[in-house]
Amino acid sequence: MSGLIFCREASKKDLEEVLDLYAQPDFDDGKILSLSEAERLFERMAHYPDYKIYVALCEEQIAGTFALLVMDNLGHLGAPSAIIEDVAVDPRWQGHGIGKKMMEHALELCRAKGCYKAVISSNLKRERAQAFYESLGFERHGYSYRVLL
């Protein structure tokens, strides 16, 4: 498996393959939305000013996906910030540069939009993912907190 890797914005017709990527055991315990629910949410997300899902393709196949949300700020002199979410690579393509290409693409988009930072979170159990993000220049910074609702 080798070939040109490129990223593009996902379309509604990509959702079934994106959901397949989310069905991996370490991503929401392998549980996914129904296609109809995903389509409804995808349509809703289209109304957000700058929240997009992207797919990475290699050999004309969707090999990975990520979501990118760019948010305006009143702080930081108005410079936006970004959240990279829902990163998943097909297990058959892991180790072939798909994740690296996706993160490079995400960061290029962030720079083009003038973001002062991009953040990504990773479950504490996903040590390989954490090492991967650190290899790309992401740094552990501060603490992350959550409340399950």
Across 120-146, average pLDDT: 85
State the Cα torsion 129-38-45-69 to the nearest 10°.
0
| 41 domain residue, yes or no | yes
pLDDT digits (tens, 9 = 90+) for 35-48: 999 999 999 999 99
Task: Look at residue 63 and give its three-state secondary structure.
Answer: strand
Extended beta strands in 1-149, E state: 5-9, 51-58, 61-71, 81-89, 117-120
The pLDDT confidence band at residue 28, using thresholds 50, 70 and 90, is confident
Looking only at the bridges linking them, the beta strands covering 117-120 and 61-71 are unpaired
38, 43, 69, 80 from 101: Cα distances, Å: 25, 26, 18, 23
Domain count, the chain: 1
Q: Which two tokens stand for residue 122?
A: 């990773």
- Is residue 141 domain-resident? no
Specify the range with the lowest mean pLDDT, choosing from 15-24, 81-90, 118-127: 118-127
The H or E element containing residue 40 is: helix 35-45
| Domain harbouring 92, CATH code | 3.40.630.30
125 in a domain, yes or no? yes
- Does some domain include residue 56? yes
Domain hosting residue 29, numbered range: 5-135
- Per the domain annotation, does 91 fall within a domain? yes
- Rounded CA-CA distance 118/112 in Å is 12
Asked if 84 and 100 touch (Cβ cutoff 8 Å), the reply is no
| 8 A C-beta contact, residue 28 and residue 22 | yes
In this structure, is residue 148 part of a structural domain? no
In a domain, 143, yes or no: no
Domain membership of residue 53 (yes or no) is yes
Rounded Cα distance, 46 and 50, in Å: 8
Report pLDDT digits (tens) over 59-118: 889 999 999 999 999 999 999 999 999 999 999 999 999 999 999 999 999 999 999 999
Q: Look at residue 29 in the predicted model and tell me its pLDDT.
A: 83
